[in-house]
Structure formats: structure tokens, C-alpha cells
Amino acid sequence: MDGTSDRTEAADHTEPAGEQREQREEREERFGSHVAVRHHAHVAELVLDRPKAMNAVSTEMARSLAAACAALAEDRVVRAVVLTSTHERAFCVGADLKERNSLTDAELLAQRPLARAAYTGVLDLPMPTIAAVHGFALGGGFELALACDVIVADRTAVVGLPEVSVGVIPGGGGTQLLPRRVGAARAAELIFSARRVEAAEARELGLVDELVEAGGDREAALALGARFAANSPVGLRAAKRALRVGWGLEFRAGLEVEDAAWRTVAFSPDRAEGVAAFNERRAPRWSD
């Protein structure tokens, strides 16, 4: 099943414009059977919804996730995205190894670009992204979280990149994203040992950014997303671009990236509105 051909929406497009907007903010879109997008005003919740398999990423699910990310990237109303799971005991356990076991070498090779599109789809979202992690976030599941800007985890979280224990490597960005979080030596230890890390240690090592009580990850992540979304959408996207593109560059080159991002916002309506709102002591009214 192709997630791009199975996109459905719950909104009623026959209503007046104001009611349409209200429905749009609360509607749910389905991308195939295993991925949904729920809209909460300017925060979109990207939902992994394959609970019977603990959200193991199958070929179908990868297609759907890539399609959902492509739609979100073009949605100018969305200012922040929160990645969540419908499974009570798992965020995502990574690749669907049962499916992988049935694939020929040729089929596995053909699947590779589909899997990459799913992971890079999350990584390349132009607005701030937050992962809400509970239970198991292993292999590709943890890589999906690492692709987000911020990771909120509850105390049940268990994270890790165990791929070398089954004869492969982290192939959803883990070898590049993990060192950027915890440094090269710590990333090497975690990847080479294939060990699982429980919530408290994960917070101590910087594998997750915020630790909340069990069951509180989604609520905390959505609240953080709403806090992000209260700010200028133009500013948010430009700041993320500067952070992502500038990271790892030589310092002066990074400053050039920052300057280019600044120039995209300095003469925008959002800048004018933000400065006016500050001087008038009122909340800014950002344009979508």
C-alpha cells in the first residue's frame, strides 16, 4: 500500500471558512493504515499508529511516514510537530525484522530508499520537532527520535541502537545524529555495545532532553510544541535552518549560514509585527 495514495481527511470542506479553519485545527489525516496527523491549532501531532507491531517500521509504514512528512513540510499553518506513539509500552521498536526476514537481497535493496525517505522526512521538517518517547525506542525507533530537535521522555523509556547485534548498523541517521548529541566517543560506546539505556541514564548522558513522570511524555511534548508555536513561524524556520545547516561547519562558515538566515527574516512582515507588538505591549499576531 502506498501511503501517498491512501491519504484521508476528516474535515468537512462544505462549511463556511471560519468553521473550516476550526475543523482544520482539530482534524485528523490518515496516511495509510499506520500513520496519522492530528492538528492542534499550530501544532501538528505526527502519530505512529501500528500498535500491534509496537510501531515496527514496515515498508508500508515507511511510505506513509514519508508522505505525512512531505505534507507537513508544505503546511504553512504548522509551526511545530510532535512525534508520538499510540502503543502504551513502546514509542517504536525500529525496523520490522519479521518483514525483513522475508525479503530477498534485491527486495531489501529496493526497500532502502523508502526507509531513508521516512527518516529523512522527519529530519528535514522545516519547523521545530519534538519526540514524545515512552517505553522502547530502539534501533530505527530511536533514530526517529534523534531526527527531532528535542526529545521528551517519560521514566519508562528505554533507548538504544542495537543494530550491530543483528549484523547491521544504524542506517536511519544514527551514526551521524548520535555523535552530535553525545560526542563521538560516547556514541561509539553505545553503538558498539548495542546496549539499552534506561530513562534516568539517558537523561544523564544527554540522549533525551527532558524527563517526565510515566505517562506524561505526550502531554509535556505537546505543551512544549505549543510554546514553540507561539513564536514567529518565519523566525522558527529560519532559526532551525541556521542550527541544522551551520552545525559542524567551520565557525566562520557557520556565521555566514546564520547571516543568510537572518536576512530571510529581517525584512519580513513577522519582524515588523514582532517589533510593533513588543512596543505596543501586546501579543503578536503572526501571519500563517
Please write the tens of the pLDDT for every residue from 115-156: 999 999 999 999 999 999 999 999 999 999 999 999 999 999
Range 233-280: architecture per CATH: Orthogonal Bundle (1.10)
Which band of pLDDT confidence, cut at 50, 70 and 90, is reported for residue 164? very high
As a residue count, the chain comes to 288
167 Cβ neighbours under 8 A, 6+ residues apart: none
Q: Which residues pair with 188 in a beta bridge?
A: none
Please write the tens of the pLDDT for every residue from 80-93: 999 999 999 999 99
Would you state the pLDDT for residue 159? 99
Which residue intervals of the chain bear CATH 3.90.226.10? 3-229
Q: CA nearest 6: which of 25, 34, 45, 47? A: 34
163 Cβ neighbours under 8 A, 6+ residues apart: 139, 169, 170, 171, 174, 191, 194
Scanning 12-83, the segments in alpha helix (DSSP H) are: 17-26, 59-73
Alpha carbons 186 and 184: distance in angstroms, whole number = 6
Please write the tens of the pLDDT for every residue from 205-234: 999 999 999 999 999 999 999 999 999 999
150-154/210-212 β-pairing: parallel
Would you state the pLDDT for residue 8? 63
Averaged pLDDT score across all residues of the chain: 92
Domain boundaries 3-229, CATH class: alpha beta
Would you state the pLDDT for residue 24? 47
Alpha carbons 85 and 131: distance in angstroms, whole number = 9
Would you state the pLDDT for residue 7? 63
142 Cβ neighbours under 8 A, 6+ residues apart: 92, 94, 159, 160, 161, 174
Which residue intervals of the chain bear CATH 1.10.12.10? 233-280
Q: Does the predicted TM-score (pTM) go above 0.85?
A: yes
Would you state the pLDDT for residue 26? 78
Would you state the pLDDT for residue 276? 86
Residue 14 scores a pLDDT above 50: no
Would you state the pLDDT for residue 286? 87
Which band of pLDDT confidence, cut at 50, 70 and 90, is reported for residue 287? confident
Average pLDDT of span 227-255: 95
The catalytic residue positions are 95, 140, 143, 163
Would you state the pLDDT for residue 134? 99
Would you state the pLDDT for residue 25? 54
Least confident span in 5-14, 187-196, 228-237, 260-269: 5-14
